[in-house]
């Protein structure tokens, strides 16, 4: 064997070893069933191979065993702009919104994501292993979102979904910032969205009816909206006022769209309508400042959505001020302090967003066959004084670790 081949072989073996370990927790929350006292998660080659009580699970010989107080599935941030909105709050690292036109569904978040931004590392250090991130609110259609692991310094390496949803906004956040520009009113917003969807329908018809070799020129904008029409991509709509939520539901029914409500400060006023339409909610950060369109937000909305049987997830959202994002773990903790049961809050951080994003076969719970993504804590993860002492992604301890024993 040549020297180079030997080096590559040893490097490959080391990489495999780095992706194999066992985590033993005094309390193990799997999000797939009840908590396990003195539980173990075995991860080999990046995948979970066994989960259960330490007395029932045989840990393969040679595997590193790390002991912690509490372990939960890696956190899935349901809606974020992290990686596009950077830590520094300066124009050069703010890529979440393109202001040159009110509708740009062709923009792909993958093309702007910076996995090396310190803000990505910050949320990773707090147990976030998966981001649903991308273009933020502030335009009628701001672009596409995608799903990525937080260890992805090279974006293509950690992508779970290169296209997840098309992000839109209704209400004051989508109004044109210059007088005389569109959209200036709520009616104009809906009319423009309706027109975009009709144009996509006509584009599909032209493609279908055209003779071979005479198809219309490619139109990236219309192609994105065709994916929305075909329910290949959900339309993720930021809306807070009840009137905007109801307008969204009417538009979705008119075009038979797959939609997800983002924000929903007044969602508790239209619970029956949301449930009847089977619309899930990516709830605004619990601690969002209550002003403007969010003046009627409630700390109990998460509990009310849960009681109504409406699927929802927590999110970090987008902050216009430093440090540009909230911590989704703390938002869930506050909801848990305002009527939401612990297990429901945990699932809305992990399994529920994974299901809403179509990635529950990979992440969201600690079960055999899923990715080895785990967040480690020195106490109850929803207690203010608790610390995240380690974050594991694909079996690799990517953050913390010095406090584990």
Average pLDDT per consecutive 10 residues, the chain (405 residues; last block may be shorter): 42 50 98 98 97 97 94 98 90 91 97 95 96 95 98 91 98 90 96 98 93 88 98 98 98 98 98 98 94 96 98 92 83 97 98 98 98 98 96 94 42
What pLDDT, on the 0 to 100 scale, is given for residue 177?
Answer: 82
CB contact at 8 A, 399 and 391: yes
d(CA 109, CA 239): 21
Angle (deg, nearest 10), helices 220-229 and 186-209: 100
Q: SS3 of 169, please? A: strand
Helical H runs in 281-337?
301-308, 328-336
The torsion angles phi and psi of 164, rounded to 5 degrees, stand at: -110, -55
Q: State the pLDDT at residue 9.
A: 43
Q: Identify the DSSP state of 196.
A: H
Could you tell me where in the chain the CATH 3.20.20.140 domains are found? Answer: 75-356
Place of tokens 């904008």: 221
What pLDDT does 323 receive?
66
Peptide bond into 374 cis (omega under 30): no
Pure H helices in 86-185: 118-124
The pLDDT, as a whole number, for residue 27 is 98
Architecture of domain 3-73+368-400: Roll (2.30)
φ/ψ (deg, to 5) at 168: -135, 170
Q: What is the pTM of this model?
A: 0.93
Match 């933020």 to its residue by tokens.
Answer: 136
Domain with CATH 2.30.40.10 in the chain: 3-73+368-400
Tell me which fold the domain 75-356 belongs to.
Answer: TIM Barrel (3.20.20)
Structure tokens at 214: 């005479």
Predicted local confidence at residue 401, as pLDDT: 59
């Amino acid at each position: 064997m040549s020297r180079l081949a030997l080096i590559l072989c040893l490097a490959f073996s080391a990489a495999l070893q780095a992706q194999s370990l066992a985590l033993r927790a005094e309390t193990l929350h799997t999000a797939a069933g009840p908590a396990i006292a003195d539980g173990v998660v075995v991860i080999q080659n990046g995948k979970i191979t066994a989960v259960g009580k330490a007395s029932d699970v045989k840990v393969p010989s040679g595997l590193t065993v790390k002991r912690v107080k509490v372990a939960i599935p890696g956190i899935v941030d349901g809606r974020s702009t992290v990686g596009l909105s950077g830590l520094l709050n300066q124009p050069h690292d703010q890529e979440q919104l393109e202001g040159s036109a009110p509708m740009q569904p062709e923009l792909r978040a993958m093309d702007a994501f910076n996995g090396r931004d310190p803000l990505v590392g910050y949320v990773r250090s707090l147990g976030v292993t998966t981001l649903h991130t991308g273009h933020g609110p502030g335009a009628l259609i701001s672009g596409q979102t995608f799903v990525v692991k937080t260890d992805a310094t090279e974006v293509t390496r950690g992508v779970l979904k290169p296209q997840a949803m098309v992000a839109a906004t209704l209400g004051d956040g989508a109004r044109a910032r210059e007088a005389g520009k569109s959209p200036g009113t709520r009616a104009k917003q809906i009319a423009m969205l309706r027109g975009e969807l009709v144009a996509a329908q006509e584009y599909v018809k032209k493609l279908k009816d055209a003779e071979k070799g005479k198809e219309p020129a490619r139109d990236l904008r219309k192609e994105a909206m065709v994916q929305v029409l075909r329910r290949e991509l959900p339309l993720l709509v930021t809306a807070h006022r009840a009137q905007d939520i109801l307008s969204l539901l009417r538009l979705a029914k008119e075009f038979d769209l797959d939609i997800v409500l983002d924000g929903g400060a007044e969602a508790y006023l239209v619970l029956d309508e949301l449930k009847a339409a089977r619309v899930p909610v990516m709830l605004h950060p619990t601690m969002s400042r209550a002003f403007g369109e969010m003046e009627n937000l409630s700390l109990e909305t998460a509990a009310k959505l849960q009681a109504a049987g409406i699927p929802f997830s927590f999110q970090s959202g987008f902050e216009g001020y430093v440090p540009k994002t909230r911590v989704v773990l703390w938002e869930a903790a506050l909801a848990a302090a305002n009527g939401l049961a612990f297990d429901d809050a945990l699932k809305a951080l992990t399994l529920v967003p994974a299901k809403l994003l179509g990635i529950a076969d990979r992440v969201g719970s600690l079960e055999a066959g899923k990715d080895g993504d785990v967040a480690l804590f020195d106490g109850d993860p929803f207690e203010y004084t608790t610390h995240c002492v380690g974050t594991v992604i694909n079996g690799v301890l990517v953050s913390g670790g010095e406090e584990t024993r």
